[in-house]
């Protein structure tokens, strides 16, 4: 039985394929959560990472972008809340 030989280009294609599948999953989850831009950037990063280092870079990229997509956005930042309160006080003092 002859040993299996894998061409270096084959490894690159396998990495690109794995990156594409992971990126499409990120894009789908981003679309479902309303964060399509993050999903698209995750797709591109996964494909590029898969082409460069294969699974060794696809898994961390997938994990980071999945976390970014699934994390909850803050409802209002403290600066925005303070500004809204100050605007409301100013409007009430003017009698508007």
Q: What is the pLDDT of residues 39-84, one digit of tens each?
A: 999 999 999 999 999 889 999 999 999 999 999 876 555 555 556 6
Is 84 part of any domain? yes
Q: What is the mean pLDDT of the chain?
A: 85
Tally the domains of the chain: 1
3-state secondary structure the chain: CCCCCCCHHHHHHHHHHHHHHHHHHHHHHHHHHCCHHHHHHHHHHHHHHHHHHCHHHHHHHHHHHHHHHHCCCCCCCHHHHHHHHHHHHHHHHHCC
Contact 14, 24 (CB under 8 A): no
Is 2 part of any domain? no
User: Is residue 86 scored above 70 in pLDDT?
Assistant: no
pLDDT greater at residue 46 or residue 87 = 46
pLDDT at 77: 52
Residues of the domain holding 62: 8-94
pLDDT at 31: 95
Is 3 part of any domain? no
User: Is residue 92 scored above 80 in pLDDT?
Assistant: no
């Amino acid at each position: 039985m002859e040993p299996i030989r894998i061409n270096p280009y084959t490894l690159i294609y396998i990495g690109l394929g794995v990156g594409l599948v992971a990126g499409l999953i990120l894009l789908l989850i981003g679309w479902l959560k309303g964060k399509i831009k993050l999903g698209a950037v995750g797709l591109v990063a996964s494909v590029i990472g898969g082409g460069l280092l294969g699974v060794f870079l696809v898994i961390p990229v997938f994990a980071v972008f999945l976390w970014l997509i699934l994390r909850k956005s803050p409802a209002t930042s403290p600066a925005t809340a303070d500004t809204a309160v100050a605007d409301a006080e100013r409007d009430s003092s003017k009698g508007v």
